[in-house]
Structure 1
């Protein structure tokens, strides 16, 4: 893990992603005159105006994830979202103006989505969002495609990140890293093995889930709210989608679950996914050299994690 990227390097990365999105869009026949960067963090998100198309260009990838692996993940996302859109679920759909598949250009793999105008007057209501996620889960239950078990946990990324963080006290305290490794010894087998998970949590049903905190990924469109960013779509317990959001959001989800005939959240599984989620936060520190601004976002969560029970209170 090398030193942090400076402002000029970050700007060049954004510019390269923007150029790749514009070039790919034009090659696909889209009219692009005033491309605008809407978002730039783990991905550069570009509106190819005047075409009603948004391109998402991932620029910071999990360690060990190459473009082929990224494209497989993107295909799963596109397929799930297209399936949901076809059944009337309120999602931001893939663009109908280009083939529904990842596009590779200039060292990037990108996806094309329908442009939706944002209602910027709305503030996120995470409890209302969490309640609405039950409707998304009810819709996703019938998805017929194959998804990997808890692939959203990215266990290889977590393990490799801990190795990369070794000897980096500028990013993580040695004591914190040692605790994270010991917790991961307890939790990793349940993440990597569906059989181990089902043995530890008998009777907890698995189903397709969003994978990346859907209450935080609801887009406020001018015509209504839309579920978005299914990049980590996975097979798992519904609890995964409520990780780290707290008791109020969990209670809100349970209200929605009752309305849609779904089971309430299992508190033992919540402890598990919360603990795994916190270890992913520690692992994300390995991205700081590529995303220096990330450190300030992560620090409060690390402090919160120090006060939690070891491995969420789960034993071997």
Structure 2
């Protein structure tokens, strides 16, 4: 997708676009961890070049020997600033002004939300400002259309997939004796626990060694269980959770309490995702690749918070469409 230029031990990532129509160059003063390959692909359609500046112990060397020469090529500069790197931001700004270039400045918070459609969560705990991020609780204006969508699509989905329920019942019984449905306690809205219902896709001893994240190609699944997970058939019984008002169709994925307790301690703003009902599918599920652990939970949270802060009927329908694309394509991002 691009080239990496190395100068001694100091380096930047310089990504060259072949499709962008803009003559603008994007400079990100510190890209931490939040720029994924999907983000970079989108940015390279907008900018001629994207310059990502990593952490460095010698900013003067890095900026003067690498950034300064690149500025000669462009008349327009878009600088994405990070409060953690105030000095670096000032140096780049002065370099641009000295060369009489045009510059626009966007904070990393605004940049993520406007261009990447996710909410920036600082990687450095010292940057955390609990007053900076306002996360709303859905009012009637949002709850009512969501409820109509939930009930309507759930009824249609149940009627269309009822033969799959019957088929799955007998296949599970044949391949893995035991209960057909799997009940697992999850954390819902306002941290209230509920039992999430799924078709059982693993053996009865799957968690003999304790709770653990599920993963792709999980060895604990039996043959048809693996197929159900790949095609999301195992998620169908969660329609019952929607009728019970435990779940919404769209929302943050409900997690187990043993994991949410850890995430609450280690991931800033994680508790905000409990402001709304969790969902069978969600913005994070269709925008982020399958993953587990703190790193992936932090990335997914950025999308969940964007969904809560920027809910619209269009976004709701878009997620439903993308979910269908993922299911019928038998793949995730």
Given the two structures, how large is their TM-score scaled by the length of structure 1? 0.26
Structure with the greater relative contact order (CA < 8 A, sep ≥ 6): 1 or 2? 1
Larger radius of gyration between Structure 1 and Structure 2: 2
